Structure 1
């Protein structure tokens, strides 16, 4: 533990923790959306258990990857002179799963009527929990590879991941409530996850997409939707005021 006596270690820990939180935003969005399929009293439990299991997986995977990172990126087969390693396979497969899952969630919300909506709120606890864990596994590789790239000390990498996951556990419930009460934000979040899925697929076939463009698009769309929400609230207040006059 002497490593934490240096300023460099603390700067590394702070930087890595902040990056892990930023990389985990899409993770929190998906956890919130999936857990909203459960009754309200079970959502928080599913979120905490799912994120805790994911944290254990990330720490274990980090310990393994820390010494086999070179093997993970070595091509295992080639297509048209393009090498594919386990990393590319995992990224592409996870991206396709994310696109398919988010698309099906959007379709379910577009087709749902009142009866179906009630049925959706009674989703199976174990199924939702497994979806949270599986998607955390997919999102883990991006954050873990970032950790390995930024720090050479395993204890700092583990500490950053644990701290960032604990922060996610704290804020996941609040984000889930906000998304559940604003359906348009939920659709926007699902569209964001589809975009992330496509990005993962492209990375899996060696096409690098600057994440800054995606974050800007998401931030701009979110700002527009917040303005729309404000306009709708003001319009509703005016209608209510006229109705009472």
Structure 2
């Protein structure tokens, strides 16, 4: 208790907390896009419940992983060497998660480009994703993103309470933003393709990170922000043209 009170009185701890919360929220965008696209494949009456359960279980997973920080940190130790690069468990998890994300995004892009082939979707089975399959896939990606973010958090602060508060704040933001984002993506088909392109880029980045090629996250999110801004301008332009056509008639 005394250590927590000491942290609350330390300005450096507050700076670390704010920085970590922002980082967790930004890193959560990737996860949130995947959750939104995946749960939109469910029947409408199950979508909100799936998002809440998936994000809630993700919170439990992250808090559990925070309790094993000593083990998580060891995941960065090389296990074997290949082509002059030492691969750690973290690298292998990132590569596996990246491949999973690339495969899912590619299948969904194929489904959107070729809507006649409606039998294949992100699960590769029925036209609609099953509830349990959606939760399972959310947790798989959560595990990958959680390990990556926790290892990054350990490098920013040694204080566990700060990490816990940052995770709670980030997951709260995800819970609040999940349904509005999913509804926005569903109502705007072009946004779906843009979001899938983001997932494809993120998956490729995870693979590159796992292979030892550092890709600055700032470049990735700057590219995503610029693409999103261009799409917003396109949407505004389309709406303006439709209004002009309606006024002409």
CA–CA distance in structure 1, aligned partners of residues 104 and 92 of structure 2: 18
The answer to whether the aligner puts 1:6 opposite 2:4 as a matched pair is no
1:146 maps to 152
CA–CA distance in structure 2, aligned partners of residues 224 and 70 of structure 1: 39
- Tell me the secondary structure at the aligned position of residue 76 of structure 1: strand
Q: What do residues 150-182 of structure 1 show as CA deviations (whole Å, max 9, x unaligned)?
A: 110111111111111111111111001000000
2:70 maps to 67
CA–CA distance in structure 2, aligned partners of residues 74 and 123 of structure 1: 37
1:155 maps to 161
2:202 maps to 196
RMSD after superposition: 1.8
The two structures have a TM-score, normalised by structure 2, of 0.90
2:92 maps to 89
Structure with greater proportional helix content? 1
User: Any stretches of 5+ residues in structure 1 without a counterpart?
Assistant: none
CA–CA distance in structure 1, aligned partners of residues 194 and 224 of structure 2: 9
Aligned length: 240
User: Any stretches of 5+ residues in structure 2 without a counterpart?
Assistant: 121-125
1:22 maps to 26
1:112 maps to 115
CA–CA distance in structure 2, aligned partners of residues 172 and 18 of structure 1: 17
- Tell me the secondary structure at the aligned position of residue 84 of structure 1: strand
Structure 1 position 113, deviation (Å): 4.4
Relative to structure 1, the CA distance from residue 188 to residue 45 in structure 2 (aligned partners, 3 Å threshold; closer, same or farther) is: same
The two structures have a TM-score, normalised by structure 1, of 0.92
- Tell me the secondary structure at the aligned position of residue 83 of structure 1: strand
Relative to structure 1, the CA distance from residue 38 to residue 86 in structure 2 (aligned partners, 3 Å threshold; closer, same or farther) is: same
2:65/2:72 contact within 8 Å kept: no
